[in-house]
Amino acid sequence: MLRITLPDGSSREVPEGSTLQDVAAEIGSRLAKQAVAGKINGRPADLAALVADGDRVEILTLTSDAGLEVYRHTAAHLMAHAVKDLFGDAIQVTIGPSIENGFYYDFYSPHHAFSPEDFERIEGRMQELVDADLPIVRDEVRRDQAVELFRSLGEEYKVQLIEELTEPVVSLYRQGDFVDLCRGPHLPRTGLIKAFKLTSVAGAYWRGDEKNAMLQRIYATAFPDNKQLRTHLARIEEARKRDHRRIGRELDLFSFNEEAGAGLVIWHPRGALLRTLLEDFERREHLRRGYDLVLGPQILKTELWQTSGHYDNYRENMYFTEVDGQSYGIKPMNCLSHMLIYKSHMRSYRDLPLRYFELGTVHRHEKSGVLHGLLRVRGFTQDDAHILCTPEQLDGEIKGVLAFVQDIMGIFGFEYEVEISTRPEKSIGTNQDWELATNALMGALKDSGLEFVINDGDGAFYGPKIDIKLKDALDRKWQCATIQCDFTLPERFDLNYIGADGEKHRPVMLHRVILGAIERFIGVLIEHFAGNFPLWISPVQAIIVNVTDNQAGYAEQVFHYLRDAGVRVEKDLRNEKLGFKIREAQMAKIPYMLVVGDNEMQSGTVAPRYRNGKNLDPMSAADFVQHVQDECSRYH
């Protein structure tokens, strides 16, 4: 008999030669039926994997994220199998991972361009493979044998992947006559996949590098049952309607132009006003919390980026230029200027903490394959701040930023989740500093009563970080606020303060953003509100529409009164039908339409109509100004 340990710490004896499936059956028939894979000593494994004496064993079901990942990765293989069956040697398979709520597979074909019209055929073949309930079998072979196999199949991308591996033995997964290179694990049979749908096709460069061949990426999703699939597809359709790129065009907020360059946003008047409103809001909120406004240059000498470690650890994401024979780096971050401001004077412990805030525009070289509207751009503005404090002040400063995030997310109505990202492989600084920084972040979160998960190895190269992932109206998660704890850069830049003992001491630095990139946050706002912005940040709060030309003069008077009173107002005095002008204003998602007819002109009022069609009682222009101010005051 073998003794194994279960996730709750209990132990169980099972016969020698038992698999994970046998363990599940030993625990209970219901678990055996629901099991899709497992973990042995923390490593994912197929249900057919053997357990050994002393192993820690976990059974995965579709109620867990890990179980769903196995399910969807198996569905990716199913899709690749179907594509190969239908298109044969005209297609090469590359990689097909699971992603949140679905999966994709990248294919190379110089002759066939996939289109949504192909989806029905592919789905039909996938269903035939499900109905066949093919066993999915893991096979381990020598690396040279795998190379020979895939070369014989004409799968040169698989050959390239295998040749880059260092392991002498690689794992393959077979189902019927289809074979794929994969670490696994997978479901034991194709018949366990119950509900799936192909959703879109897009271009993707091999390895994400625009210098490589263009592949075709088919996105799809899979769920344990059709009800969950239908719910998800309805959410996808709603997301399409809310796509910030489409709404941005319709509301004339921004554009991208290849003549300007990929990933560079051109803000139109209404969009520029929207971001100005957000930026002014940010400045007010930071000043209220004791931050100082600063501003650094766009380029800094390359030697400075070498000192900081960016040149060695972040160079591939930076742009460089040369002026008078001197190399400069265009800033991808704002921290260096802030440290130079700190160094411009000798600091005392009585001066700390210092909180420097900058709406700093940065540029980063994002690969063209990942650019996506406002959500992933090359030039953007961060609501960036750096807090320099004593080690004793660190806990309070982290908690202060967390409270700041909570306040701001509450104003916009966002819920959020928290994770801590730890030291990446490519990093600088001592283990002791990293441990101190990580413990400081964890301690502040625990004291604040915030639950968090650990994201191993995804910290910044100079320190661990707290990532705040907000959830929008469709329950999608977006990375915005970040708090990074840094003991390393103050050391590299020899930052000091004079302590109460009269000696020099090293400050700690917090890098943090609240909204993150303004461009990205506006993209999230557009999709969250479907373009129906709250009144306080609507670029246009009201539009005056007259019924006939008789009221044009009065409408002009109201327009100037409201504008002088601070209402962001436009006017539509065209000789068009009232219904047509109201529909256009509703399509533009303007919160209030102020109808002016003969009655309003005679009584000196306006008739407000909300964008959802609700009519308010007629009121004077002064009362409408007060109405706008009252509604805006509820948000900030």
Query: Catalytic site residue 382?
Result: yes
Residue carrying the six token digits 């210092």: 354
Kindly state the DSSP code that residue 134 receives in the 8-state scheme.
Answer: -
Q: Which two tokens stand for residue 87?
A: 């298109």
Question: How far apart are alpha carbons 97 and 76 in whole angstroms?
Answer: 7
Pick from 35, 54, 53: nearest CA to 44:
35
Q: Could you give the angle at which helices 156-163 and 143-152 cross, rounded to 10 degrees?
A: 170
Pairing mode, strands 607-610 and 508-517: unpaired
Query: Catalytic site residue 630?
Result: no
Distance set, CA 161 to CA 14, 164, 380 (Å):
38, 5, 35
Kindly state the DSSP code that residue 619 receives in the 8-state scheme.
Answer: B
Which is the catalytic residue, given 286, 511, 512, 528? 511
Question: How far apart are alpha carbons 312 and 318 in whole angstroms?
Answer: 11
Residue carrying the six token digits 């097909």: 96
Question: How far apart are alpha carbons 590 and 251 in whole angstroms?
Answer: 10
Which is the catalytic residue, given 46, 384, 472, 486? 384
592: left (phi over 0), alpha (psi -120 to 50) or beta: beta
- Widest distance between CA atoms in the chain: 96
Question: How far apart are alpha carbons 253 and 260 in whole angstroms?
Answer: 17
Question: How far apart are alpha carbons 444 and 595 in whole angstroms?
Answer: 53
Pick from 100, 91, 42: nearest CA to 69:
100
Which is the catalytic residue, given 186, 310, 465, 589? 465
CB 64 within 8 A of CB 32: no
Q: How many CB atoms lie within 10 A of CB 615?
A: 11
Specify the DSSP element, H or E, that contains 159: helix 156-163
Residue carrying the six token digits 């991208």: 256
Kindly state the DSSP code that residue 258 receives in the 8-state scheme.
Answer: T
Query: Catalytic site residue 246?
Result: no
Specify the DSSP element, H or E, that contains 61: none
Query: Catalytic site residue 386?
Result: yes
Which is the catalytic residue, given 364, 378, 512, 571? 364
Which is the catalytic residue, given 338, 355, 386, 609? 386
CB 95 within 8 A of CB 150: no
Question: How far apart are alpha carbons 384 and 398 in whole angstroms?
Answer: 15
Which is the catalytic residue, given 335, 389, 480, 485? 335
Judging by beta carbons within 10 Å of its beta carbon (0-12, 13-18, 19+), is residue 216 exposed, middle or buried? Answer: buried
Query: Catalytic site residue 511?
Result: yes
CB 526 within 8 A of CB 576: no
Q: Which residues are catalytic, by number?
A: 335, 364, 382, 384, 386, 465, 511
